[in-house]
Structure 1
Amino acid sequence: MIRSVVFDVGETLLDDTREFGAWADWIGVPRHTFSAVLGAVTAAGRDNAETFQYFRPGFDLALERERREQAGSGEQIDERDLYRDVRPALAELRARGVWLGIAGNQTAKAARLLRDLALPVDGIATSGEWGVAKPDPGFFDRVAGFAPGERSEIVYVGDHRDNDVVAATAAGLRAVLIRRGPWGHLWADDPVVTVRADHIVDSLSELPELIRPSAQVGPSSD
């Protein structure tokens, strides 16, 4: 039985194009160059924060994020950043009696911006608020305490093999990988994902038929 579904944020609910573009502008490199290096870092299975080191060795992400805020060009999240399937899928899942949460590797400010969107979910949290980030097991301990149900009754939906599928299932949760964004497309056919994810989807609109409060889910043959 599935009682809760918890969603990652970047490239699961939000299209990160605008934010990545803002970072490229901030460090003064062409957007296509930034994207190309980000892709190489992603393909190597490394943390995307390492992208900045190629352009500015010793780059302090937290410090630069604060400088962006002070300059009035800090992170923004609004309706245009949501993928088009987000609101309909969340509304349908909630109408079917599933508890819904959002929890990802974002700042405390991002949590406030997400709450301002008034999405049809029951709870929102970020690593910036919790003080622990994926793939640390402590993050998924917080997810398990955040969402109703036993761990086997909680599904985590994300786009990343290691941070989402592997880390969630290692913590005893179920996992769904969405095939979008650089990570989702890169990892969708990875054998680790195909074994460990319950489902691999192209859109959140597929979830209501796959995840029901009374449904048992198992490894997908997608």
Structure 2
Amino acid sequence: MRAYDEGQGPPIVMVHPGLSDGRRCGKVAAILSGRYRVLRLDRRQYRLDRGAPVQVEQEVEDVLALIRSVGKPVVLYGHSSGGVVALEALAASPSSFAGAVIFEPSAVIGPPLSGEGGEVLQRARAAMASGKPGKALTIFMRDTVGLPDWQAWLGGAIAALIPYYRRLVPRQLDDLEAMDRLGVRLGAYAAIEVPTVLLGGERSPANLAERLDAVQRVMPRAERVVLSGCDHGADLKKPAAVARVIRELAEKVIVD
């Protein structure tokens, strides 16, 4: 288990989204660290030195190990596939958390994220096998995330040009497979009574709002917040808006 640790005060643990490492949450963490101790998990799935693909249950173990090292309940933030890891951690050990903010979790609520029979994943892996990581990421962004064609193509083109992202594309595909393998877990989320904010962007793809809707329907203490003018990358583009939601929840649920 690895994490970036900064600031002092009540603890906040952050679980980053895909195609990134623990640095992804840095902008939000920098805002919060003046008041809180912020620990950003470096997810095992995305480590370049890891071996076999990682399952969600293993990443949940890392989240809980990090919290045990803190020694007190924390506020948890999870984004996209990191949001699913966060939900699973909440379900596994609710007493470990004072509250949570979950940003557009890539939760399976019906058919697999990679399509019936995993055809999206198959096409993306075939592109990787042909030495085309940019094409593989374009397929994922268009057919799983739901980005418009031009935006998915641009993301893939950038990934093809930058070695850091090229190396992470296979990890993104492994992460997608792990989400599908986990399957529909709404029944488990229905038992979560930790105060939770389900966060979404006004401009995010429709399927992400649908996943938030499904999670909100089953979680008894979930509040829905929509960030005006934001999309799935709000943590990078408007980090102050995301930090504000986390801070407002922390002020309600953390007792110093």
Q: Same fold (TM over 0.5)?
A: no
Give me the TM-score of the superposition, normalised by structure 1: 0.34
Bigger helix fraction: 2
TM-score, structure 2 as length reference: 0.31
Higher-RCO chain (CA-CA 8 Å, sequence separation at least 6): 1
